[in-house]
Chains A and B, each alone.
Chain A
């Protein structure tokens, strides 16, 4: 009986549980607590500020990514790698006839190589869209942050991010969308690269004006460490405007048509003017901040400096193309390579390094190891590695080797060298140009000083030497520099098509660049 009673109670409890559960039915309108929607992200001032800050991070990661950039820079024979990560091997390999005629962008939705075309487009438009949302909230919807200074700071930085992202679309793609807070994105049409460029300059001018009219300092978490004052933002916008003009040409003919005087104007107010600074950030192992290209190419066991550039640093020992048997240890007059020693004896078995001596280079090091597979082309091999950003000096995984620590984006030297080039090309002051070149040539390289008397041709040679040696690893800059002087191998594509994914959204025909048609015609 007792058991019966217990069972009865249990049954009653069951019935009550069931009814309680049924009555406990919850609402079907379940919010998503894991991520905000547009309304939450763009209407709350604090969230809006976070969105704006995020545009810088998105741009930084796109500029530093190996996807895209590692291909551009191995195509430019600045860096070299035969790994097919990020499609480097396919796009940087050379056909039997010495061209890259068979290596057009693989702009179809099935190709592994499509990601090189897709990634920059997606990333930069992500930054553009978020920056536009911020500007729309401030300018159209009049959202105010905690104070007007912060609102102006956010407006300026969002404007900067919008412009510098559009700059990359204009420099990399044959056409794109001009997106800003005044445009209805539902009615977007492609603009050619020239219209894109001009719009970028207009936007950068607006940023320059805004930064000049307000005083602020960006928080440290906007670049994961470094901060920017309004003065620095103004300088940076000027440098970006100079870059937009100087890096836009797809070939030497277009370069000749650039308004180089205007470049001088911008560059003279850029990040190497006044109190010079390097635009940089801090990597966190690629959790959120990712100096991916520097990580891959400042690791002696994954990336190398192309023998084309290594040969410039030490023509005697570092032969180009890579010879059978490899290149011996260097003895460069340039202190950035020196004797090629690096690291310590404990690294030798893994990295083939020469343990560091007093004559060690600051930026480059030698490795005995031919790390690439010859079957993919011995020309990929090089004995010189780029170690400038390995601040640990030992390929320590807590440093750039694993994408941690300070990482360069756009150094002041970028501005100096554009400035110098603009002066030379615009028949400006060769003395000033030489001075700008010597800031690295002499100070860092320990080489003989360039002088106005060298003349434009020699100065240009020395300028280009500095471009090759100093700017390695800074986003796609080495690629921009090589295409402007027709320095890319024949057949190498000189710009990207609109990605197949974007074309597919609208049912547009696929197309590509490279081979016999490396780029679109110069827009009128």
Chain B
């Protein structure tokens, strides 16, 4: 291994040195052929198109009027026929054979629009830039055209509903400034992360994308599993998303493009939760609570909640409010001679829907520059700086949690005794001990999260000969975050006890870079074109975290540590964390393109990582793919292109940072065993076979189908060990997760006329996943963070061999005669006579003698195995999304509609307040008197906070994720402004998360578990910040 790495370093050095030397080289032109002409489409000039001869590596970019000129050194190639290609994004490339001869040759190109992106070029997972027609696996592409009308706050969110096989959901929260979660095809990890590897302009980005804006994105490419992502090795089993930002590269020669975009509007919560508006206590003749001698409420004998409260307050309306959404975006792009660049600035403000909080604001700057030094050398560089500030509430914390326990008679706008706003002392015995005034918390608890992000890229390419390219890159990514939490002295709990204050600050600094060198050779022999790339990649990441907290302050309103008490009972608590990750990777990939119809591709990659166990430092991955363009041999009526493809590849998942180590936690200065080390820990190993086809027909239609069969073995699991060892767990490789996905993408241009254009894309997928092997005892996991979290928390998702991944286990209630008989047979009921039980109005069996009495209770189902059963499955039957864009004269509209059919959500947000009688089902006033159930009846469903089928809900939904309508201002109007010659001037209205159709009772069925542990497999609703609706107005100018 060492020998390989040393050799690799030498290779890289040689490349880099060669680049440096080559910078001095100057082209010498002896006998020249000058190519010139015009590129048009439907008679209109196409600026920014590239025209050139690929095999010579020469060409140029058209000017605004479509003109191009480039020169070729004819040398000894006089009379040879070469292919001159013209291409531009959004158009089908055109090739003209031209005989090479000294002197001037004029050729014009008329390009045809490629509205379905059937001929776009992709670079992700392939040996070199390749037309999608010749890629042997599925690559999802989302271009700026699909992003520009409804840009999401982060690029990942923009993928929702646009790529088959890509599931996008809220991450740990929908709080402004949060990042969504994404999973590509079936899950690869039983307990770990599912998010793909993300690369932005060559920077391997593990520091999140929450701070990156979508307006800068020019294109996103998505490969979804090992069959395509083997090129990225041990961190790519979850697929790879590659994001390319604007560089001005698509502008016409000499063109400058300025874009100004302003968006302003409002966000609000489209749905409030229902609550219990009735109570089970005696009332006086005036409707007030009757009180006993101690001043406590007196429960009614029947315990039925059917009395009205003496007064009601609309607390949901007080806590959730309409808020601001604002974006200002300015970009300037230019191409002039050998240089193109793009500079942009974005300002974003999103207040969110919680009252009092300021929400999230962000300012981003980006500059990208490309420069062609000469025919042999060019380089690119880019820099991004973003800063953001978030004024937040704790997820699952007192605000969103506590307000679920409010009785409706509590005035949360009342004043405290000292006259300050939002009365904190709202506890009403025997009401909940969990209740807090959310407004008091929002007003007095400060939780801020400020981040700075910088990333920079440098890439140089050197072509010593036309068929060989050497490339070196250095990509740097830095994130700095400061999280601050402040609770003032005297902060009141709901009983009125005044706290001593709290102050905590956590600073996190993360620095990462990846650098590498590649050699790419492209050769042609008769009917074979070959592209071979060898590469070396080095990754290095340093994470540093320091934290300080104090639990007693001495000075009011001072939010710095100077106010901390010097008190041994309330010490200052420091903490720090330092993590270094290093990875060395090398690969070779080779693609053979034969007869322009058969593509065969193969690669091998070797990764060595500090994350693997010390005895398992290396892992090898490989891929073999083939694509056959059937339509080149067999012509089918109406079929423009028919491609069959198959790919098999392997990729990995790296273990968590500290998984390999034997860990002692240091608590109060004393080491204590936590995790048993594992020097043999390997990365998880994912094997994927992908087969599929692409059919383009009748010029305006395309169908892409893929079937993926994934198996990820060596699952990285933190399994329990015997407590006798003193350790709690050990990370080990133990299990295989299998998944199959069917994906279908359909594109159609329904109308393409001069004044009317209508494009529809459909993306559908269906995934099934199963645990095919497990070498440790079955266990339950997730969701993280519920009821204390970690190992002590509630666990409801079962991991067992043969079990689908994502099934919920919990209690059932007797609802059928068969269940009743089974339960009696298992000894689960007091009476063994079935006739002693009856079905009540809600469909549950109850004891006949207790029916319609205060003692009526549902009965828990039991069989010979006990009371634990499969009660739900979070996996949807299928998902289907349609994105559509229509343009009619100056009007343009686009929409994304997503349908998730089926899939359960476990609703803890309902279950916990159930124990405090706060759920709407307790309110019996709408029922006939005889059918009313007592509060203890519903209490039974709480089930000790164990999972129960009562709280498993259909999480299926149909959602209008995006809708935008734009109107292009008439030229006459924009010209009258006399500011500039606007190429774009339009106004519009955008709706995000505009409508949701669902039977789900919570805020929104598109939820994920707390802590972001595994939002797709641990699909639970747990007091997290809900998704909200946004409607904005847009004004956009481009010139």
- Residues of chain A touching chain B, judged by Cβ–Cβ distance below 8 Å, are 4, 7-8, 10-12, 14-19, 21-23, 25-30, 32-38, 41, 47, 50-51, 53-54, 57-58, 67, 83-84, 87, 89-90, 96, 106, 108-113, 115, 118-119, 121-122, 125-126, 128-130, 132-133, 177, 179, 185, 188, 221, 224, 282-285, 287-289, 301-302, 324-328, 346-347, 349-352, 368-376, 378, 381, 383, 395-398, 401-402, 404-405, 499, 501-502, 504-507
Contact = CB atoms under 8 A, between A and B. Distances in A.
A130 B474 contact: no
SS class, residues of chain B in contact with chain A: mixed
B662 A33 contact: no
B617 A96 contact: no
Contacts of A302: 433
A346 B458 CA distance: 66
A54 B536 contact: no
B710 interface: no
**Cβ-closest 3 pairs across A and B:** A129-B726, A54-B670, A350-B496
Contact of B433 (A7, A301, A374): A301
B581 interface: yes
Contacts of A347: 496-497
B827 to A, nearest CB: 10
B658 to A, nearest CB: 6
Contacts of A285: 551, 569-570
B728 A41 contact: no
B664 A37 contact: yes
B770 to A, nearest CB: 20
Contact of B777 (A11, A53, A108, A504): A504
Nearest to A67: B792
B233 to A, nearest CB: 14
Contacts, number: 332
B145 interface: no
A512 to B, nearest CB: 10
A126 B673 contact: yes
A486 B460 CA distance: 83
Contacts of B431: 373
A190 to B, nearest CB: 10
A375 B673 contact: no
A350 B672 contact: no
Given A8-B373, A375-B917, A505 B500 contact: no
Contact of A371 (B430, B778, B942): B430
Nearest to A41: B671
B939 A25 contact: no
Contact of A125 (B381, B429, B584, B726): B726
B81 interface: no
B27 interface: no
Contacts of A352: 294-295, 429
A326 B293 contact: yes
Contact of B868 (A34, A110, A133): A110
B263 interface: no
B904 interface: no
Contacts of B668: 54, 57, 221, 224, 287-289
Contacts of B915: 84, 373, 376
B379 A14 contact: yes
B664 A25 contact: no
Interface stretch (B11-19, B360-368, B396-404): B11-19
A96 B855 contact: yes
A438 to B, nearest CB: 34
Most central of B20, B499, B677 by chain A CB within 10 Å: B20
Interface in B610-637: 610, 614, 617
Contact of A370 (B296, B432, B671, B868): B296
B117 to A, nearest CB: 33
Contacts of B425: 349-350
B460 A328 contact: no
Given A25-B5, A37-B677, A375 B582 contact: no
A28 B295 contact: no
A17 to B, nearest CB: 5
Q: Which of A28, A115, A351 has the most CB of B within 10 A?
A: A28
Contacts of B780: 109-110
A281 to B, nearest CB: 11
A185 B945 CA distance: 36
A112 B787 contact: yes
Given A21-B474, A58-B672, A404-B570, A397 B722 contact: no
A17 B939 contact: no
B540 interface: yes
B472 A18 contact: yes
A501 B792 CA distance: 11
Contacts of A177: 722, 724
B496 A22 contact: no
Interface residues of B, number: 124
Given A8-B373, A288-B668, A326-B296, A350 B427 contact: yes
A328 B569 CA distance: 37
Nearest to A121: B723
28 contacts: A7-B373, A11-B379, A22-B536, A28-B617, A30-B580, A30-B610, A32-B661, A33-B578, A35-B663, A57-B668, A58-B672, A112-B787, A125-B723, A129-B724, A130-B672, A177-B722, A284-B571, A287-B573, A324-B292, A326-B293, A352-B429, A370-B430, A371-B429, A373-B915, A375-B936, A398-B570, A504-B777, A505-B721
B460 A15 contact: yes
B584 A28 contact: yes
Contacts of A50: 669-671
A375 B551 contact: no
Given A57-B667, A57-B670, A22 B946 contact: no
B581 A19 contact: no
A115 B292 contact: no
Interface stretch (B108-116, B753-761, B794-802): B794-802
Interface in B283-328: 292-299, 303
Most chain A CB inside 10 Å of its own CB: which residue of B23, B571, B935: B23
> Among A32, A37, A381, A405, which residue has the most Cβ atoms of chain B within 10 A?
A32
B582 A28 contact: yes
A236 B885 CA distance: 80
Interface string B757-799: 0000000000000000000011110000001100010111010
Interface string B337-358: 0000000000000000000000
A325 B293 contact: yes
Nearest to A183: B724
B16 A15 contact: yes
A129 B676 CA distance: 13
A396 B569 CA distance: 14
A185 to B, nearest CB: 5
Contacts of A18: 12, 16, 458, 460, 472-474, 515, 517
A167 to B, nearest CB: 16
A116 B373 CA distance: 71
A504 B774 CA distance: 13
B608 A28 contact: yes
B17 A19 contact: yes
B577 interface: yes
Interface in B600-614: 608-610, 614
B422 interface: no
B579 interface: yes
B916 interface: yes
A517 to B, nearest CB: 13
B351 to A, nearest CB: 32
Interface centre among A179, A378, A397, by most chain B C-beta atoms within 10 angstroms, is A397
Contacts of B939: 375-376
Contacts of B494: 350
Contacts of B916: 373
Given A51-B670, A125-B726, A370-B429, A404 B536 contact: no
A398 B569 CA distance: 8
Given A370-B294, A502-B723, A28 B777 contact: no
A122 B610 contact: no
Contacts of B414: none
